[in-house]
Amino acid sequence: MKNYNHPKYKKGCPAYCPAALFIGGMTVKRKGKGNLVGYAFVLPAVIYMLVFIGYPIVYNWVISFQDATAFTLKDSGRAFIGFSNYKAIFSDPTFAHAIQHTFIYTIGCLVIQFTIGFLLAMFFAKKFTFAKPIRGLVVISWMLPVTVTALVFKFMFSQDSGIINTLLMNLHIIDEPIGWLLNGGTGMAVLIIANSWVGIPFNMLLLTTGLNNISTDVYEAASIDGATKRQQFFKITLPLLKPTIMSTLVLGFVLTFKVFDLVYVMTGGGPVDSTEVLSTYSYKLSFQQFQFGQGAAAACVLFVCLFIVALIYLKTISTSEVD
């Protein structure tokens, strides 16, 4: 039996009257039911992440410490060999070249696609008649499958019948066809150009969205105060666009650093490993040389690099929010 003489049930204290307690209990029950419904909607995505992303990552880490080859991959009791796979790839000169090429490729692509994407975003942020149709045409390159893009650029830069060599020779810039993809330096440059062609619309879309979210009232107030366009750009646009810029750079780094299909279709990592990157190096170890343990170790190195970038991004974002 409840003691309604208790202070919490006294008249004039509606928060603790029996009716209020009943309504409060019903509210808690409804909230709990709402949480269960929310969990039910999230559960399929969580299961998908665990099965198709979480399990492969964990399995990859496991076999990177095992003697996993074509002969032992199906064995349940594969020998644990510690860091032998990592020692093997770190002692391989091709691995060092793959890391170097991956960073060169990534940084080159980021510089080109972010710079041009930012300029296009500033251009399309202006209100003019054909802004949307032209922006739609620019986005087509991003919507195409990467394999199609790779094949197009491979044919464009081919030595015998490529349109680039034909155009340069007709303009009398070169005297004989250049083997763009048969030379390490030019091969990497062509890969950077091809990926930048895909990444420029992606950067443009993200940066355009960030620019549109900046209120025009801020610029009007700055103009009234006598601020020039240059001052508005460096004092208003860039500071307010900083979160969007950081997100664009990090996403661009992740998407570019883990590239596989573009490089594999255009050059296959050649000639003589001059365009080898971490993803193609891991693929060749696993599915051409059937050294699955070493291929998994190379993939883990790629994972660690991307994980470090993600941590730096989260640290930067948290610091900017505190400021």
* pLDDT for position 184: 80
Task: Confirm whether pTM is higher than 0.75.
Answer: yes
Residues 6+ apart with CB under 8 A from 266: 150, 153, 154, 181, 187, 190, 191, 194
The DSSP output letter for 123 is: H
DSSP calls for 48-108: HHIIIIIHHHHHHHHHTTB---TTTTT-TTPPB-TTHHHHHHHT-HHHHHHHHHHHHHHHH
Going through 127-265 in order, the beta strands assigned E by DSSP cover none
Residues 6+ apart with CB under 8 A from 206: 117, 244, 247, 248, 251
* Beta-bridge partner residues of 66: 80
* pLDDT for position 18: 54
For 228, other C-beta atoms within 10 Å of its C-beta total 11
* pLDDT for position 310: 86
DSSP calls for 143-156: HS-HHHHHHHHHHH
* pLDDT for position 74: 79
Largest Cα separation within the chain, whole Å, is 104
Mean pLDDT by 10 residues, the chain (323 residues): 49 50 53 75 92 92 91 81 94 94 95 95 84 84 91 92 91 90 90 94 92 88 89 90 90 92 92 92 94 94 92 78 59
